[in-house]
Structure 1
């Protein structure tokens, strides 16, 4: 019988989650079982629907099974994705799902429960030591780190006896260090769904008593979800009424931008289908200069088209990572969009975000007390690291030869599990 793993590393991501188990200096990813499984990557999503056969009358699923349930019954279910993005938000108190309300930690516990259930027994017995990744800086305009920690503690209560939180890029750094055969100063750039995080680590040669030592970290709440919104903002929202006008007491006013801001955040978009918001939109439609545009927005919300809409956005983003020109295609609820997009257009849309990301790289170097020319290797990880404009930032700053990639979706979990085997976790814990 194989020995019990000493540590579990969990990369609880905004878009995807990955789990690894470590024993004797090696980590192994946990695969998920079943006809809907997508290997070792588990989508960070939940779906709810009414079911009189379960306690409380409401059933739920997570990961790719949540997506499958939603795609089959979109109008009779509630789909939540990227709920990690509200972990540090004081504004977010609970999500309204049908007639019930769920706090962040309750959503998290349901997600973990279903993730364990789909792991084919690999997570039924878990090591006491659990290493959970956390962003260097949480998503949101005014993230409350203490609140996020409190919510994480409640979410993971009962998941393991010894919970530790480690910056996500440090997990990737530890994973990358296992590839190196000589000493190096490494910058890890982790581009997730909600945040972009940077850590600098000193890696000693193999055989050293202390292989890795963290030097400094910085992060910003800009990443893949923000890039998705830029695409929506330019290709979709104008035909849903953004920038339009309506009449109120004889005055011509702009359609409130708050409605369109909700499209930037899955946690808010999925919750717009409530009686109050829909009544407001119906009144707005009657007063709008272009009522058909507001009607299209109502359709997107009523027909629960958020997931296929963002799926189309993601397909365009991925296509533009490989091609100079691609076509955005979306059809649903009577709404059809087909438009060619140049990579140069996309890069122009995200230019302000790229500038802030580059400034955060400078901040990480300053915190570590390391000059750019002292960085021997740059390891890019996370889905958005595949965007050419992202890679161009690091190639221009550090040179092509110093850039390394690989394991974009799994390296963090690998490294977190390995960190869990360290004798002293104090220097790694956040």
Structure 2
């Protein structure tokens, strides 16, 4: 294998929110620019009815928000952990199997990488979560980069993506860096089906949905059914709210609600087809709350002068239950490895949702002696998969 030749294969990190492609070339950044010079391609497909074509990434979001008629689909990777993967969906008037939809998106990643590289690729190493579904263990070898290791260390890799949180406890050392078979260095793997979309959902439910009737009382004293707000707060179920059956049920329910202000706003939001817009605003608020104590969300699109102040304190309270499950998964991982928390030398954070302060603090507090290292939150896994692809398939 030549040390100066580019790799024969690609590494693809198909993410719930964003995807990356790595191509290992000595002395060159491995992550390939996939859209507008950016290394990430949002995992989004928009089927444009007017032009009868699929659109991907940021352009897909742009066309949808510009008002083009069509079907927007996001968080595609979440399908892999659901029963929907065995079913079809209606796209441009035809039935499309969900697994074919995933194939279309991954094919687009390959196409863009080949265009950038100026060559075709026949081999690829794909990343995957440790657990696609909770309580169904299936460990894969994680990609790792030991360029910053000067001695043997026990490292906990914390990868918080859009749909899953994955953990790997691994023993690293400079001497082991070039060894081809590294399975014995992985002491334990674990994970939980919690990621950025779940954090968005809880922020939406606790901070925004009450304005749209979430928690409203019926005249009987019971609470309004929550399924409508859960659908609205979950990317891949927003379209269910626009269905005629759903709207008829809401309209019938309206007469049994004590205060109709919230449900009337919900009808307005449905009329404006603003569910995905609202979801993106909530996601933007989550991101801003990693740096700022608060963010005012303007909801004037639904009702004039309507807004809500979202705070980091509210967000952290909303996701506390999710963080407890993350901590439990880390505790289980350490127990499986027979390692005490004080023995961990380094915790390596990566993944788009790893920047949430409450999450970092929550995990870090469990590992009193560990130094904290931050990887490229969107690119570490893609870069590691590119290295693994070169190891497995060699150089051109």
TM score, norm. by length of structure 2? 0.87
The aligned counterpart of 1:356 is 325
1:279 counterpart = 2:248 = yes
Deviations 1:319-342 (A, max 9, x none): 221223333333323365423333
Distance 2:114 2:359 in 1: 37
Relative distance call for 1:215 and 1:366 in structure 2 (3 A) is same
Query: 1:228 pairs with 185, 200, 211, which one?
Result: 200
SS in 2 for 1:269: helix
Relative distance call for 1:5 and 1:199 in structure 2 (3 A) is same
- Give aligned pairs, total: 387
> Where do 1:111-126 residues align within 5 Å?
111-119=105-113, 121-122=115-116, 125-126=119-120
Deviation at 1:42, TM superposition (A): 0.4
Consecutive unaligned residues in structure 2, runs of 5 or more: none
SS in 2 for 1:408: coil
Distance 1:361 1:29 in 2: 29
Deviations 1:63-87 (A, max 9, x none): 111011111115x222111021121
Deviations 1:170-221 (A, max 9, x none): 23xx13x233232211110011111111111111214655275222111111
CA contact (8 A) 2:75 2:236 kept: yes
1:396 counterpart = 2:365 = yes
SS in 2 for 1:378: strand
Deviation at 1:22, TM superposition (A): 2.3
Q: CA RMSD in A?
A: 3.0
The aligned counterpart of 2:191 is 219
Distance 1:197 1:336 in 2: 41
> Where do 1:293-372 residues align within 5 Å?
293-334=262-303, 337-372=306-341
The aligned counterpart of 1:265 is 234
SS in 1 for 2:30: strand
1:61 counterpart = 2:61 = no
Relative distance call for 1:363 and 1:327 in structure 2 (3 A) is same
The aligned counterpart of 1:86 is 79
Relative distance call for 1:209 and 1:48 in structure 2 (3 A) is closer
CA contact (8 A) 1:80 1:270 kept: no
CA contact (8 A) 2:153 2:172 kept: yes
Relative distance call for 1:396 and 1:353 in structure 2 (3 A) is same
Distance 1:347 1:245 in 2: 26
The aligned counterpart of 1:407 is 376
The aligned counterpart of 1:135 is 129
CA contact (8 A) 2:45 2:60 kept: yes
Deviation at 1:299, TM superposition (A): 3.0
Between structures 1 and 2, the one with greater strand share: 1
Query: 1:70 pairs with 64, 78, 89, which one?
Result: 64
Relative distance call for 1:322 and 1:386 in structure 2 (3 A) is same
The aligned counterpart of 1:31 is 33
SS in 1 for 2:83: coil
